[in-house]
Structure 1
């Protein structure tokens, strides 16, 4: 078949591939090359083919099209081009992924399994790694996206290859390493909302064996909304990030990498928006009518369906995260190597907000958390002939001291009294986690093209909720006269303080069979199991909630088409999901509000399709399609704590919270050769199906299907040193809730959550050497 004929066939097929594809599912072996661009050059015959692109999804280098796991990859240059500045932005570039934020906690959901606990101290279901270091605090995961080489997202339970067990997947961020030659870059971005961002790095050799790299990122923009009561902006950003990397290579077989990082935020970010009333409840206070920013009249209405808010308090976000890691690699011989990783990280945040939607009934919420985390990991990796394996040991020690101080309107809880802001509720605890795990995975090629992988993980974990405390006071006014901060430590409620314990040991297996049908067709089937240990409803008398488990049955097919001009990868999976840890707003004795409990079992079925095509050298299409069916099963019934008068409610058939019905990503790019460079235009479209945020599937706690489009115009000079671009993200200025939760009935049962970022546009300029 001639090249001209093959390209004609591909051009005809591209219209079909366009609606299914994913340019995010690419990787890079060279940090200076965006993996999607590398794949495009491959398709055009100007570089290595897709089958030569290297990923590290299985803790060793393997070809993307021959890796028996559902993995999506996006490179660092693509993050910069698309103005993806944090983990909150990257979800729109990946299939089966929903990323939002709640009370400053990063909420990552993959295939309908994600983080639902808004309270400090809980770990997510998606294990989050930066350079192999596990970060267990969702409040400290937003500052890692700078000077990135690539981001890999593994979908499905993980545990036989990684330090921390996970039921939903693994999110791996790899930053750029020091270079032996002097190199660096500087990227500047300016745009609406007074945006002025800067990112840069400088790298080079300090001696024959020692090299270093220093990277910095600054993010600044004004608020995406306003507090109409105080007149100040909210959801602005002022962040500073710094990373220093030292790499020592005394020989070809041994290297040591030391990384230190720091991230700081001081702004009014992470303020929730109001999306109406979740329940038509009757409270002890009169709830004002709803209004819009145009009809707002403080304090006579509740603002709803707006990025603005109304609070009598000045909102604030203050957080920092710092850490250090030491990684060593030693090649024992030509086929066996030993790796060690030791890390310590420390984080803190303080979030102050009033989020009821009306200043007349607004509480004053103060959320604090301080975290100390230590990890140690040792791996033995082997690759000899038909046999390859990974064996590891992992130690995790975590101490989190969360604290919640909420001053509440007195009339919301005490009938027929003068309404004023009372001291309200004060809860705190010391949460300790110690986990030890042994894991391993072995792959053996039993015949030409046929391989079998077996793996397992044994985890022993101890958790302790120490000095669990709750005190309430609806009499003493806030602020308390003469008391620093205006909030006093209330006497403990009956039953407090107390201690709680969890001890759990689990073994989780994995079996995979993969077969290379031809040089261009690779398939696999997998059974894997993951679990997430239980936790505590600190500040409450409720007992600990139990661990949850996922059994995954999956099959995948990865194909290279038209001689490398297109790829098409499909994965189908079935999850048997039990003891689901879900969050509700609790009421009753000893319950301060947010409550996590077991919601029984569910099945999650889905299909994911990722394809990419380049019909001509200048034109490419990419995108993805993911469809989910995520429903509770069995005869599970439970009482809705917000509507106890309804009695036990049957959950079977209800949609699992946080699982979109479908996601569609479509992208297209056309490039022009200019005398002194290249000009490219790219358009992207994503549609996200409706998402339920309540296990009771309340229509008022549901995000309807929504659409988002992005546009990019980029120029690169002929030498590859200078770049310039224009961008518009969220072209249609779509307003949608990326997370939702219900507030207390006494405060109006408002539906609160984080809103999609509004339309942003601007210009970026970059230089690298």
Structure 2
């Protein structure tokens, strides 16, 4: 790998050596629109929990503005990945799947944890099913790559994504937008900001997003399929000034989505020999990729349906005490989900069943953080805080049509409750050693408690009957803790060049699988010896890593060009991997520790403002993410194999041209991205699905009369209509990526 990187690394080093002042890692559309002739614009971020210029923030990060989202027609987080270096955001059947620098997790159940934290206005959103909602009245999205174990806590071994919405301002303003596109797409959004006196400001935002299914039904039934959407979302915010030194920001939000959860096709749509466990990619048109032709021999599929609802109330309190500022951030959130879906369930190469599943569940979470940060311009700046998180879930999975392997008509997982509790204390300080050199040290101590009480039941009917049915308990509890830390330094080579280096650690809590330990009583549930499992099977250990990173952010050519460089190396221990497997004749979803993994890479990106009307963006990532010690079954070694969604290199280029004529302004832009091939692994089946190299092109065209309050934007995404699977599971179900999308949007602002 070192040999292969020799020339790109030297090139990146040469670019960094020639660079002058720093710039942001990801140029936003707002900056494109507002860039003046004197160069690129700065971006203010809160990646380190206090405001700073992105160009002076010692973290590899990307920033996307709300204007960029609207210009590209992006409505959900899953649609953003192709604009982010070394990031995959996949809209899986069970929620948003985040992969950063090859680090991911596939346990989306209520007992699992992601490897990257997803936050909404600083509030951690625990469940992947609740992360891929409408992006409503967004100011910006900050994507932090690499472990964020000090300031953001557990479950940030891969990084963190923070969606930051607009807060009320002391200005009367309004905005509205309507959009139409293919797949019968219809969208509308609106915002109203009203100052109420000198102390109070209110802001309301609403959005509606509907489109038909991307999938075609080739099963011989009249049913519609999934990857459709019927979303509605609203948020009301109020900012109250409490004297001259304190303020309170309150947010209340809610959203619903009615959809079809049958969002998958067979892996045979992409791979030959998938049934035999030796999948080989083959070419096919998009229409074939998106057609579900699986016809189960054991059941007639039903019409799938799904309904989700989410709501939340949050508060941010800020009090300037003079030498320091006190911050409080807290929220209560609730997420409900009900659906019926039709699964593809490959039991063996010669036997693939159709399975209908009903699900009903509710998740509630509360989080509170109290933090204090120093003010002033002295040599020492510091912040410290306390954090508390509590999650409670109850759910019921019911599978039908599995009589061929479990000999009962119904197979269910009732759980009430699953709980997770996390507490942490953290602090970070930065000392200005000289006018140019700063040193940073941070630490966090976290304790996590998880517990679940439920069962695996074998039933003759949809409702459990103790007289005729059997139940095997699922009962476990675990407590883990970890100290994570960060040491770093950053230095202004010149007024225009910023370099940094850091060593950091990350941690993801341990957990448990289905089952119980025979002869024990856990959470008041007795576990008979005959159904018990071993502790080594039931529990898995925390995931930890140590990260080494160095980078440079620079501006040059009279502030008309930028370059951002990051090199990194991770050492992972006990990487957590999840998948379905048959254990003692029973289908179970299990997580195991993958032993040791290594991740190293390089990221280079930036912007060139060639003329006041011509702008180029570029990006290059190199990545080597592989297992160094891992045996999925205790016999076969996967040492040297790639981690999931870890292409060895990705190249991206963008160009935007502005043309003015007769009091009109046109902006045309194109973004191209080529990714090397990568793999999606199913360790429980000893299979890796290899996706070949693929290119993707997006384009947009915007028109606005000079000085007008409205504009029209046309966009197209995935113009080549190249479709790869977002996910593939151990039962042969694959979720296709988004097809070619295009639309036209009209925006008005006051």
Query: Which TM class, normalised by the smaller chain length?
Result: 0.7 to 0.9
Residues of 2 paired with 1:528 and 1:434: CA distance?
Answer: 24
Q: Does 1:503 align with 2:479?
A: yes
**Counterpart among 300, 308, 312 of residue 323 in structure 1:** 312
Look up the match of 1:182. Answer: 172
**Counterpart among 588, 594, 610 of residue 589 in structure 2:** 594
Residues of 2 paired with 1:212 and 1:260: CA distance?
Answer: 12
Look up the match of 1:637. Answer: 631
Contact 1:423 1:488 in 2 (8 A): no
Deviations 1:62-87 (A, max 9, x none): 12211111110010011000011001
Displacement of 1:102: 2.6
Look up the match of 2:409. Answer: 422
Look up the match of 2:158. Answer: 168
What residue ranges of structure 1 are gaps of 5+ in the alignment?
Answer: 1-12, 284-289, 295-302, 415-420, 481-485, 640-646, 744-749
**Counterpart among 228, 231, 251 of residue 222 in structure 2:** 231
Look up the match of 1:273. Answer: 265
Look up the match of 1:443. Answer: 430
Residues of 2 paired with 1:170 and 1:180: CA distance?
Answer: 31
Displacement of 1:318: 1.1
Displacement of 1:407: 0.7
Look up the match of 1:738. Answer: 726
Contact 2:555 2:561 in 1 (8 A): yes
Displacement of 1:536: 2.5
Look up the match of 1:456. Answer: 443
Q: Does 1:557 align with 2:585?
A: no
Three-state SS of the structure 1 residue aligned to 2:73 is: coil
**Counterpart among 38, 51, 59 of residue 61 in structure 1:** 51
Three-state SS of the structure 2 residue aligned to 1:592 is: strand
Measured at CA, do residues 280 and 518 of structure 1 come closer, stay the same or move farther in structure 2, by a change above 3 Å?
Answer: closer
Range 617-626 or range 567-576, more displaced: 617-626
Three-state SS of the structure 1 residue aligned to 2:62 is: strand
Three-state SS of the structure 2 residue aligned to 1:637 is: coil
Q: Does 1:767 align with 2:748?
A: yes
Deviations 1:413-432 (A, max 9, x none): 56xxxxxx922344535211
Displacement of 1:291: 14
Look up the match of 2:115. Answer: 125
Residues of 1 paired with 2:558 and 2:125: CA distance?
Answer: 41
Residues of 1 paired with 2:604 and 2:494: CA distance?
Answer: 20
Q: Does 1:149 align with 2:139?
A: yes
Look up the match of 1:336. Answer: 324
Correspondence list, 1:234-253, <5 A: 234=225, 235-253=227-245
Range 436-445 or range 680-689, more displaced: 680-689
Q: Does 1:657 align with 2:647?
A: no
Look up the match of 1:526. Answer: 502
Residues of 1 paired with 2:708 and 2:326: CA distance?
Answer: 38
Contact 1:189 1:764 in 2 (8 A): yes
**Counterpart among 281, 293, 314 of residue 303 in structure 2:** 314
Measured at CA, do residues 623 and 365 of structure 1 come closer, stay the same or move farther in structure 2, by a change above 3 Å?
Answer: farther
Residues of 2 paired with 1:241 and 1:491: CA distance?
Answer: 46
What residue ranges of structure 2 are gaps of 5+ in the alignment?
Answer: 1-11, 17-21, 295-299, 517-532
Look up the match of 1:34. Answer: 30
Measured at CA, do residues 196 and 695 of structure 1 come closer, stay the same or move farther in structure 2, by a change above 3 Å?
Answer: closer
Contact 1:102 1:753 in 2 (8 A): no
Look up the match of 1:298. Answer: none
Contact 1:426 1:490 in 2 (8 A): no
Q: Does 1:566 align with 2:561?
A: yes
Measured at CA, do residues 677 and 487 of structure 1 come closer, stay the same or move farther in structure 2, by a change above 3 Å?
Answer: farther
Deviations 1:516-558 (A, max 9, x none): 1001111011000010001232467541221100110000011
Range 387-396 or range 231-240, more displaced: 231-240
Range 167-176 or range 118-127, more displaced: 118-127
Three-state SS of the structure 2 residue aligned to 1:668 is: strand
- TM-score scaled by length of structure 2: 0.87
**Counterpart among 101, 104, 107 of residue 94 in structure 2:** 104
**Counterpart among 483, 493, 505 of residue 517 in structure 1:** 493
Deviations 1:688-707 (A, max 9, x none): 33232216596662322222
- TM-score scaled by length of structure 1: 0.85
Q: How many residues align?
A: 694
Measured at CA, do residues 85 and 159 of structure 1 come closer, stay the same or move farther in structure 2, by a change above 3 Å?
Answer: same
Three-state SS of the structure 1 residue aligned to 2:610 is: coil
Contact 2:267 2:274 in 1 (8 A): no
Residues of 2 paired with 1:309 and 1:196: CA distance?
Answer: 28
| RMSD (Å), alpha carbons | 2.9
Residues of 2 paired with 1:509 and 1:86: CA distance?
Answer: 33
Displacement of 1:268: 1.1
